[in-house]
Amino acid sequence: MTVFLESFATDQLLPPWRSLGMRMWQFVIAVDRKLIAAYLDTRFNAAAPDRAPFHYTPLPGKTYGLLCVARHAHFSSSCDGRTGRDTTSHTELTWTFPALRYRVSEDNLLVDPLQVWIEPFAFDDNSYVMFSAREIFGTEMDMAVIRMEEGESPADLRIDMAIEGMAKFDPRARSQSIGCMRMGLLPDTSEAELLRLRKDDDDLDAFVDNLLADGIFTGSTATDKRTGMEVNTLRQFRDVFDMDLAAYRAIVSSTTQHSNIRDLAFFSGADTVVEFLCSDSLEETIHAMFGARPHNEKSLLESPPPLLNAPGTPDTNWDLKYMPIEVAMVICFTADAHFHIERTLHTYGQI
Partner 1 sequence: MSIRVPYVQSAASQQVPPPYHFPDVTVNAFYMNVSMERVQRYCDMYLNIGDEKTREYVYRPLAAWPYATVLYLNYPTMISAAPASPHLGEVPYSDRGAISQTEVFVAIPVVRYGRGAKRLITDTALEWALPFIVVGNPMSSVCGREMLGLGKLLAEIENGVGRYPESFHGRISLPGWPDDEPGTMQRMQEFMRIETKPVLPTPAGTQPPYRTLATLLESPEASKLVGGLSSVSNFIDSFSLGLIPTSMRTVGLKQYRDTADPQRAVYQALVTCRAQYLNVRNVRFYNELDIDMYFNDIGSFHEILEVFLEVDKKPTGKPHSVNTVAALRFEADINFDTLRVIREFPIDRDGLPPTPGASDLVSRWYRPLRGFFGPRRGVGLP
Establish if 319 lies at the interface with partner 1 (CB under 8 A). no
Measured in degrees and rounded to the nearest 5, phi and psi for residue 268 equal -75, 145
Q: Which of residues 110, 166, 261, 300 is near partner 1 by CB under 8 A? A: 166
Contact partners, residue 200, CB within 8 Å, separation at least 6: none
What are the distances in angstroms from CA 18 to CA 79, 89, 214, 242? 10, 11, 18, 38
C-beta separation of 88 from 71 below 8 A:
no
Establish if 297 lies at the interface with partner 1 (CB under 8 A). no
- H or E segment to which residue 203 belongs: helix 202-213
Complex with partner 1: residue 254 or 272, whichever CB lies closer: 254
Establish if 312 lies at the interface with partner 1 (CB under 8 A). no
Per-residue x/- track, 128-157, partner 1 (CB under 8 A): x-xx--xxxxx-x-xx--------------
Establish if 41 lies at the interface with partner 1 (CB under 8 A). no
Establish if 240 lies at the interface with partner 1 (CB under 8 A). yes
Max CA pair span of the chain? 62
3-class secondary-structure state, position 33: helix
Establish if 127 lies at the interface with partner 1 (CB under 8 A). yes
Establish if 292 lies at the interface with partner 1 (CB under 8 A). no
Establish if 102 lies at the interface with partner 1 (CB under 8 A). no
To 5 degrees, how large is the angle CA 203–CA 205–CA 211?
110
Binding-site size for partner 1 (CB under 8 A) equals 83
Q: Which of residues 236, 259, 309, 334 is near partner 1 by CB under 8 A? A: 236
Rounded CA separation 180/182 (Å): 7
Residue ranges in 167-206 that form contacts with partner 1 under rule CB under 8 A: 169-175
Rounded CA separation 276/282 (Å): 9
Q: Which of residues 106, 284, 302, 315 is near partner 1 by CB under 8 A? A: 284
Complex with partner 1: residue 44 or 333, whichever CB lies closer: 44
Establish if 234 lies at the interface with partner 1 (CB under 8 A). yes
Establish if 260 lies at the interface with partner 1 (CB under 8 A). no
Establish if 296 lies at the interface with partner 1 (CB under 8 A). no
Establish if 250 lies at the interface with partner 1 (CB under 8 A). yes
What are the distances in angstroms from CA 204 to CA 120, 196, 237, 265? 21, 11, 37, 17
Complex with partner 1: residue 156 or 283, whichever CB lies closer: 283
